[in-house]
Amino acid sequence: MLISLIGPPGSGKASVAHYLATRHGFEVLCTDNGTCDSLTALGLTATSCGDEKAMLDFVTDRWHERFVTLDLTTVSDMEAFIKRPFFLCVEVGSPLLTRWKRYQTKHKSLPLEKFVALDDEIAFGMSTAQASTRQPLVRSGSSAMGGNGIVDNLASVSISSPSAGLAALRRYVHVSIINDFPDRDSLNSHLSSLNLPSEERLRPCWDSYFLKLCNLASLRSNCMKRRVGAVLVSSNRIISTGYNGTPSGLLNCNQGGCARCNNTLEKGASGCGQNLDECLCLHAEENALLEAGRQKISTGQEGKGATMYCNTCPCLRCAVKIIQSGIRTVVYQLEYSMDARTKAIFAQAGVDIRQFHLDT
């Protein structure tokens, strides 16, 4: 494992490195132009690897051991290391005034304004002078601005991601630590609770893995009430995934497809779990179950799709499942209380429905 610590001046990166080295046996690595001297001043023995490429080779050959470094400070560094399965990037942050006061203990009489300038340079990869001469993204009077200062055409405005400094490195961060603790003992206690050396941070267990996939699936939800995702698994192999929202062929819930979910408090919105018989949204779990068998159901015999027979006209709750399963025809015997609404959504989704009277 290699933990890379990044953060602004005075945030406590060296204190975190000290904790990992003294409490968990991490070996501190640095580059020839890096933090070797400052770490030695803290009583830590640091191993110099030359440059970042040499450090990568060094750790790769010893991936089963524990290392920590403060010397990966560029995007190119991160791009090289982030691909490796033993790498963990930890950001250490702290309030500005707290960091300035800490910095004062090492660099006496540094005015706050100069510290802020230094902080900006490290954060954004440019000096205050460079920042003051940098062209803004959109200037007043430019073609992208309307007369009231509002952007008329967003497509004409180019907003790029940071390319230098700490701001550019945050996309690689796995763990963020806010170090506003008054002393090192308090910080160490917090670090112990995080269990940074855990191998699960590098390779999540199955429960963590599948729950994260659930969260990812939920981003596809269109339900106005709540985003939910589900993953159906057998022997740690994914069978299907699902998220909640209206069935295929109907308007999305967030486009007005489900009247129940779109009701506001002023219109007498349904509470959690209330009036579910009027909800057209499939639950994430239902979608996952339905998708697991959708291929067989939707193709059916000779690719014509399946037919469902039921002795009573389906309710809305069942109707949406029928639509999502790919069933093309429904045949029923007895009427039900919401037949008109069921037939309306079947018509919208292209499902044929007919009543058949059995001989008595």
Helix, strand, coil % in the chain, rounded to nearest 5: 45, 15, 40
pTM as predicted: 0.71
Best-predicted range by mean pLDDT among 86-95, 136-145, 235-244, 266-275? 86-95
| Residue 151's pLDDT band (cuts 50, 70, 90) | very low
> CB neighbours of 233 closer than 8 A, spacing ≥ 6?
210, 239
| SS3 assignment, position 309 | strand
Residue 190 has pLDDT above 70, yes or no: yes
Q: How confident is the model at residue 300 (pLDDT cuts 50, 70, 90)?
A: low
Strand 229-234, strand 237-243: pairing: antiparallel
Average pLDDT over residues 39-59: 88
| Fold matches, 2-128+163-194 and 206-355 | no
What are the tens digits of pLDDT across the range 233-283? 777 888 888 898 998 889 999 999 888 888 864 555 566 546 767 788 888
Quick one: tokens of 200?
Answer: 């699960």
Q: Which of 16-30, 172-186, 295-309 has the lowest mean pLDDT?
A: 295-309
Q: Which residues of 175-209 are buried (b: 16+ CB within 10 A; e: fewer)?
A: eebebebeeeeebbeebeeeebbeeebbeeeeeee
DSSP string covering 150-175: -BS-GGG---PPP-SHHHHHGGG-SE
Orientation of helix 13-24 relative to helix 184-194, angle to 10°: 60
What angle do the packed helices 284-299 and 206-218 form, to 10 degrees? 80
Q: How far apart are CA 97 and CA 115, in angstroms?
A: 10
Q: Within 10 Å of residue 107's Cβ, how many Cβ atoms?
A: 12
Quick one: how far is CA 48 from the chain centroid?
35
Dump pLDDT digits (tens) for 282-294.
Answer: 888 888 878 877 6
Residue from 54, 2, 53 nearest 27 by CA: 2
pLDDT confidence tier of residue 142, bands split at 50, 70 and 90: very low
Domains of the chain, residue spans: 2-128+163-194, 206-355
Ramachandran region, residue 31 (left: φ > 0; alpha: ψ -120 to 50; beta: rest): beta
Query: Alpha helix locations (H) across the chain?
Result: 13-24, 36-41, 52-61, 75-81, 96-104, 112-124, 128-133, 165-169, 184-194, 206-218, 259-262, 284-299, 316-325, 339-349
CATH architecture of 206-355: 3-Layer(aba) Sandwich (3.40)
86's CB contacts (< 8 A; 6+ apart) are: 1, 2, 59, 60, 63, 202
**In degrees, to the nearest 5, what angle opens at C-alpha 339 toward C-alphas 337 and 340?**
115
* Per-residue tokens: 143: 């073609």
Burial of residue 44 (number of CB atoms within 10 Å: 0-12, 13-18, 19+): buried
Highest mean pLDDT of the ranges 60-64, 158-162, 226-230: 60-64
CA separation for the pair 228, 285 (Å, rounded): 9
The class level of CATH for 2-128+163-194 reads alpha beta
Q: What does the pLDDT average to over 293-308?
A: 65
Among 79, 113, 121, 285, the active-site one is: 285
Q: pLDDT digits over 99-132, tens only?
A: 999 888 877 778 889 889 989 999 987 654 554 4
Whether the predicted pLDDT of 157 surpasses 60: no
Rounded Cα distance, 24 and 10, in Å: 23
Please confirm, yes or no, whether 200 is among the known catalytic residues. Answer: no
Residue type, 149: G
